[in-house]
Structure 1
Amino acid sequence: MSRSIKNIFFGFVIIFLIVQMIQPVRNIDYGQVPSSDISKVYQVPGNVQSILRTSCYDCHSNGTNYPVYAYIQPLSFFLENHIKEGKKELNFSEWGLYSQRKQTHKLEAIENQIKQRKMPLSSYLYLHHDAKLSDDKIKEVVDWIESIHTEDK
């Protein structure tokens, strides 16, 4: 390998290592469930809560369970942006801050998204196989949502 190619390679390695020191703010709640969490607003059965935590909360709550690769740049910036966008669309940790109308709309959207298998995203499922929703899990969540709609009427 020529000297200039070695210098270029060495330069890339140095830049890569320096970029690793730049880390975004993490979406970590330190295990505390806020009073505005969906589980404090509605009676969420344990099985449904488990499904939501496994398949939804990483991107749609204030508490993300970060995998090892989340600390490597530029993946870290990509993930944080993805989480930020997910929370903007739906945040289970801030559910109680939504109006009743918005809660109803969000429940309908959740039901539609999981029935159409648009959520969780396939890019998320690629590395988080346990988050995949089986037909039974989808039915459990949909049944729970429909029971809430029945209570609200």
Structure 2
Amino acid sequence: MPYLFTFKPLNVETMLKILPVLLLLTACSPTTYYIVRHGEKEAPGSAMGGDVALSAAGEQRALALRERLKTGRIQYIYSTDTRRTKGTARPLAEALGAGIETYNPRDTGFVRYVLGRGKANALIVGHSNTVDDLVNSFLGRTELQDLPDSAYSNLFIITRKGKKISYARERYGN
């Protein structure tokens, strides 16, 4: 069967002509940061003290997060060093073949670190009393206060395109 198209290798002159266009397209692509609180947790008082695992509802929420974000071109996944935050991030990390990088929620340089990684979409999993600090730091303004302890379904989406920053608050899971 004959081919409908033939392809010739690009010569240097052609490559130099299209390189600025490719760079422009890359420079204009947005970077998105998805920030969530961990899923529902087991009741306090477990053998692990304060580091409780996800409940069955939390595990379902983690699966819902995976489904919601699996096409989000996420390159980095960050989680605090607790069972419930890592459990929330794990299904997406496994689906993407990505690792989970732990961060200290008290580290005031964490947001600068994430921004310094360049144009790379990221998921960040935190806690009811740290998600607001993350969102506010990425936005450069106060948008949120501490989340209620019962709030698990919020998905905060911050998109940066050049100097423009947009913000959305969505829900995921049941």
**What is the TM-score normalised by the length of structure 2?**
0.22
Q: Which has the higher helix share?
A: 1
**What is the TM-score normalised by the length of structure 1?**
0.24
